[in-house]
């Protein structure tokens, strides 16, 4: 009896223990049975979602009206394979060309500045007076006196020679007296030549030397700009009254610096002024040693450089027709920057105007102006070259837009090289030669394309076998 009642009590407890063990096994065995259950249920739901929510193809074709293209200032040009030179960008600066740009003016004699005829910024022509100096040189005074005395002595000897020549003919005077006079005259003529050359070397003109021989001694001297012969023996001076020709005439000078003041005493050889003519300048590039071989190759082969001038408004000047080539490379290295220099000749441009009756000149390029020199280093053949604004990048993808009337087809392209100004595309057939490609505003076109697609405005277009794009019809 007791056993039966005990069995009745144990049986429900056993069932509960079994159920608990089964539940525990199911709980701890989830990693093993849940994937099996998921495989039976997921395909239907995922498949259903994939079918009902499949994303549409990326939009490729854009339609723009003529006014929209005008608002974007859109330009298109036919694509054509060409040769492109990859360029190395090197910083540089415009500098004076030693021996040509600046010219120092010094006083040949000691004295006092009594008059300044031209001031900083003024334009002077070759031979034009710059300074008047009152002479205070004992040496010059002595040279003038010696020249005058030698000239008078020659005149006296000539008179004596004429007198004894008649006496020699009558035999009253021996002939050796005439020989002695001739020797004295020769010595005095040599002295005269020496004095004349000495005065000429000190800045005295031939006309002034002639005046000194007549007894008109110099008390002041004029210092003038270099003559045309000093500047260039092959050129002649134009009429200074024609101020319009100043900007085109190579040999004129600007007073760049005055080194003296009115009333200042100066010694022979003292600097008076610095004259400048910025018609011929240098572009000096600063390159590293590792770039030397490329620059030497460019210089040897006379490759043309491209130069970007900072702070230059090209619209204000005539078109520049000059080509840029490296003239020479420096064979020394700057110890501070560890760079070496190379030099490119630069022909300047200028305009002239008049103020208060005097001409003035404004130069296009000025010493100290920064530049970027683009040196060709590698030739890439059979590529398509587009402006940088003609290509839009989305991550690793690059696109251009082919125009056909109002329609623009976005085409994926492969980029071989790009810089600030150009993008070089591989000519792999993605773009057919002769097709018109948008040359700018590619980023704007891409944004409009995405906007139209997001708003459900992407029209139905198709492309014909010849590559032309048309709307649905």
Q: What is the pLDDT of residue 159?
A: 84
Inside any domain, residue 360: no
Do 42 and 112 lie in one domain? The reply is: no
Token pair for residue 168? 């020699």
434, 427 in Cβ contact below 8 A? no
Q: What is the model's pLDDT at position 265?
A: 93
Tens of pLDDT, residue by residue over 355-401, are 888 889 999 999 999 999 999 988 899 999 999 999 999 999 999 99
For residue 371, what pLDDT is reported? 95
Which of these three, 252, 276, 300, is where a domain ends?
Answer: 276
DSSP-based three-state secondary structure for 120: coil
pLDDT given for residue 255 in this prediction: 93
- The per-residue pLDDT for 419 is 86
Decide if pLDDT at 37 tops 70: no
> In the prediction, which pLDDT does 30 show?
60
Report if residue 28 sits inside a domain.
yes
Give the span between the Cα atoms of 437 and 408, in whole angstroms. Answer: 9
Residue 328 has pLDDT above 90, yes or no: yes
Answer yes or no: do 117 and 222 share one domain: yes
Looking at the predicted structure, is the pLDDT value of residue 233 above 50? no
Tell me which residue of 151, 134, 355 sits closest to 265, measured CA to CA: 134
209 and 248 part of one domain: yes
Residue 118 to residue 350: CA distance in whole angstroms: 21
Number of structural domains the chain divides into? 3
Average pLDDT over residues 182-208: 87
In this structure, is residue 201 part of a structural domain? yes
Q: Is the pLDDT of residue 137 over 90?
A: no
Q: Give yes or no: residues 212 and 265 share one domain.
A: yes
Q: What is the pLDDT of residues 58-105, one digit of tens each?
A: 668 888 889 999 999 999 999 999 999 888 899 999 999 988 889 999
The predicted pLDDT at position 379 comes to: 86
What pLDDT sits at residue 339? 93
Whether pLDDT at 42 is above 70: no
Tokens of 113: 């500045």
pLDDT at 40: 39
d(CA 305, CA 346): 12
Do 134 and 114 share a domain, yes or no?
yes
Compare 137 and 98 and report the one with higher pLDDT.
98
Please report which confidence band the pLDDT of residue 243 belongs to, taking 50, 70 and 90 as the band edges: very low
- Identify the band that residue 14 occupies on the pLDDT scale cut at 50, 70 and 90: low
User: What pLDDT, on the 0 to 100 scale, is given for residue 468?
Assistant: 53
* Residue 284 belongs to a domain: no
Q: What is the pLDDT of residue 54?
A: 39
Cα dihedral 245, 249, 252, 254 sign: positive
Q: 460 falls in which pLDDT band (50, 70, 90)?
A: low
Does residue 150 contact residue 194 with C-beta atoms inside 8 Å?
no
Q: Would 428 be classed as within a structural domain?
A: yes
Range with the poorest average pLDDT among 194-198, 231-235, 429-433:
231-235
Statement: residue 50 has pLDDT above 60: no
Query: Helix, strand, coil % (nearest 5) of the chain?
Result: 35, 30, 35
State the pLDDT at residue 296: 93
25 and 164 co-located in one domain: no
Mean pLDDT over 443-449 rounds to: 91
State what percent of residues in the chain have pLDDT above 70. Answer: 78
Task: Return mean pLDDT, the chain.
Answer: 81
Domain boundary among 248, 276, 304: 276
Please report, rounded to a whole number, the percentage of residues in the chain having pLDDT higher than 90.
38
Instruction: Select from 361, 349, 365, 350 the least CA-distant residue to 284.
Output: 365
pLDDT in tens, 252-308: 899 999 999 999 999 988 999 999 999 999 999 999 988 999 999 999 999 999 999
The pLDDT value recorded for residue 74 is: 93
Q: State residue 316's pLDDT score.
A: 84
More confident residue, 179 or 83: 83
Name the residue range of residue 217's domain: 102-276
Residues 406 and 447 in one domain: yes
Q: 25 and 161: one domain? A: no
175 with 78, same domain: the answer is: no
* pLDDT tens sequence across 204-226: 888 888 888 888 888 888 898 98
Residue 467 has pLDDT above 70, yes or no: no
Radius of gyration of the chain (CA): 46
User: What CATH number does residue 71 fall under?
Assistant: 2.40.420.20
Confidence of residue 237 (pLDDT cuts 50, 70, 90): very low
Find the mean pLDDT for residues 19-36.
Answer: 61
Residues 158 and 71 in one domain: no
Beta bridge partners of 418: 423
Tell whether 312 is covered by a domain: no
In this structure, of 29-43, 311-325, 392-406, 425-439, the range with the lowest mean pLDDT score is 29-43
In a domain, 239, yes or no: yes
User: Is the pLDDT score of 455 beyond 90?
Assistant: no
Q: Is residue 338 part of a domain?
A: no
- pLDDT at position 341, please? 95
CA angle, 51 then 55 then 56, to 5°: 115
Instruction: Among 221, 251, 276, give the residue marking a domain's end.
Output: 276
Q: Would the pLDDT of 345 be above 90?
A: yes
Do both 259 and 200 map to the same domain?
yes
Indicate if 129 and 205 belong to the same structural domain: yes
């Amino acid at each position: 009896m007791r056993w039966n009642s005990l069995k009745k009590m144990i049986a429900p407890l056993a069932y509960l223990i079994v159920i608990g063990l089964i539940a525990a096994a199911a709980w701890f065995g989830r990693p093993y049975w849940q994937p099996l259950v998921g495989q039976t249920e997921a395909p239907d739901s995922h498949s259903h979602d994939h079918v009902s929510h499949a994303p549409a193809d990326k939009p490729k074709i854009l339609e723009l009206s003529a006014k929209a293209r005008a608002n974007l200032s859109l330009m298109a040009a036919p694509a054509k394979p060409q040769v492109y030179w990859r360029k190395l960008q090197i910083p540089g600066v415009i500098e004076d060309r030693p021996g040509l740009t600046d010219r120092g003016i010094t006083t040949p004699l000691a004295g006092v500045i009594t008059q300044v005829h031209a001031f900083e910024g003024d334009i002077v022509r070759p031979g034009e007076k710059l300074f008047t100096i009152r002479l205070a040189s004992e040496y010059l005074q002595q040279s003038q006196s010696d020249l005058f005395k030698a000239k008078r002595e020659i005149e006296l000897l000539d008179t004596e020679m004429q007198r004894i020549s008649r006496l020699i003919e009558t035999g009253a005077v021996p002939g050796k007296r005439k020989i002695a006079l001739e020797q004295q005259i020769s010595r005095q003529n040599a002295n005269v030549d020496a004095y004349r050359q000495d005065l000429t070397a000190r800045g005295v003109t031939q006309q002034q030397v002639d005046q000194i021989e007549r007894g008109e001694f110099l008390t002041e001297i004029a210092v003038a700009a270099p003559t045309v012969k000093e500047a260039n023996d092959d050129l002649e001076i134009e009429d200074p009254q024609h101020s319009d020709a100043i900007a085109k005439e190579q040999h004129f000078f600007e007073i760049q610096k005055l080194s003296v003041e009115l009333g200042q005493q100066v010694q022979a050889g003292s600097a008076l002024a610095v004259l400048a003519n910025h018609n011929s300048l240098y572009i000096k590039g600063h390159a590293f040693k590792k770039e030397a071989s490329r620059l030497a190759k460019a210089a040897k082969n006379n490759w043309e450089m491209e130069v970007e001038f900072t702070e230059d408004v090209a619209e204000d000047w005539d078109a520049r027709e000059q080509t840029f080539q490296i003239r020479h490379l420096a064979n020394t290295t700057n110890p501070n920057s560890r760079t070496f220099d190379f030099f490119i000749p630069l022909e300047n441009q200028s305009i002239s105007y008049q103020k208060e009756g005097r001409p003035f000149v404004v130069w296009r390029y000025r010493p100290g102006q920064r530049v970027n020199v683009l040196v060709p280093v590698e030739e890439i053949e059979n590529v398509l070259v587009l402006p940088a604004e003609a290509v839009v990048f989305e991550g690793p993808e690059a696109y251009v837009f082919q125009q056909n009337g109002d329609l623009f087809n976005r085409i994926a392209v492969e980029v071989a090289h790009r810089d600030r100004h150009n993008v070089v595309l591989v000519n792999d057939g993605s773009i057919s030669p002769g097709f018109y490609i948008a040359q700018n505003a590619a980023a704007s076109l891409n944004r409009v394309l995405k906007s139209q697609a997001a708003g459900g405005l992407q029209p139905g277009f198709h492309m014909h076998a010849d590559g032309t794009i048309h709307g649905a019809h």
